Amino acid sequence: MIKSYAKINLSLNVLGRINSNLHKIETLVSFIDLNDEINIKKINKKNHKIYFYGKFAKGIPSKNTVSKLINLMDKDNLLKGKKYLIKIKKNIPQKAGLGGGSMNAASLIRYFLSKNNLIIKRNKLIKLSKKIGFDVNFGLKLNNTILLKNQSILRTKKKIGLYCVLVKPRFGCSTKLIYKKVKTFSKPVLKKNFFQNINLKNIKRLNNDLEEIAKKAYPQLEKLINFMKNLRHLEFVRMTGSGSTVIAYFKTRNASENATKVIKKKYKKYWCILSKTI
């Protein structure tokens, strides 16, 4: 079984517009122990079989990040004609800013590289991941990662060690809608030496440019964030990606467990779990 871990954006700054559909961003990405579960095995069939099940499987289209990956790998003959049965239990909600689908694809790329001894040059691997989705490249290694202003990626094995209380309202945010409403751009704040002195104080100084936009588009999200900012022993609250998941960060498990109870009591119909950075 492959664990496909959720991605979180500890920061996200929109630096400019590349074209009508794409923006240049810088972001600090980490991973948490919330994960989808992928089971894969070779089959003696003419075609691959891909199934999604679990709490958050409803509504996943037949053309998705996993099917796109498999088709691209077949096109380049990377699987040498072998066919696979892929079953994915979806524990990560959709439209949550947690990169569930992208991390499924990234996890499978890592699997095929390790098990099939595929020899793919780094540049080709990056091109393959970008064809599937922008976030896929982050999940090729489970390290804390920075996307810099020049769109290069830096990774570190240093741990952040934060407990995370994730809350997702009963709605998802439209990434396309959120980015469409971006009218002003930020100056870059992440530098190449950020990981040399990575600590909680420096992370707390960062922000997510999309959060204010999301709050205006979805007033319920603003109410949730304001409520979470008053949790006891809180370090900081920040939306991940384009939302709609909001995360409260804590130093200790005890503080995060207490916060989880408070949130669940207030927002009984919202999805809320406790996790930890890996």
Range among 76-85, 193-202, 266-275 rated most confident: 266-275
The token pair at 206 is: 């960062």
Radius of gyration of the CA atoms of the chain, in A = 19
Size (the chain), residues: 278
Sign (positive or negative) of CA dihedral 16, 130, 87, 275: negative
Q: What is the pLDDT of residues 131-151, one digit of tens each?
A: 999 899 999 999 999 999 999
What pLDDT does residue 18 have? 86
Q: How confident is the model at residue 14 (pLDDT cuts 50, 70, 90)?
A: very high
Task: Report all structural domains of the chain as residue ranges with CATH numbers, in order of start.
Answer: 2-147 (3.30.230.10), 163-276 (3.30.70.890)
Closest by CA to 211, choosing from 176, 241, 250, is 241
Residues 6+ positions from 226 with CB-CB distance below 8 Å: none
> Cα separations (Å) of 208 from 40, 113, 114, 249?
36, 33, 35, 15
- CA 124, CA 61: separation in Å to the nearest integer? 27
In our burial notation (b when 16+ CB lie closer than 10 A, e otherwise), range 119-155 reads: ebeeeebeebbeebbebbbbbbebbbbbbbbeeeebe
Predicted confidence band of residue 27 (pLDDT cuts 50, 70, 90): very high
Give per-residue pLDDT as tens, 100-127.
999 999 999 999 888 766 667 777 878 8
pLDDT at residue 21, rounded to an integer: 78
pLDDT the model gives residue 218: 93
Q: Which residues are catalytic?
A: 7, 135
Q: pLDDT, tens digit, for every residue of 171-199? A: 999 888 999 999 999 999 999 999 988 89
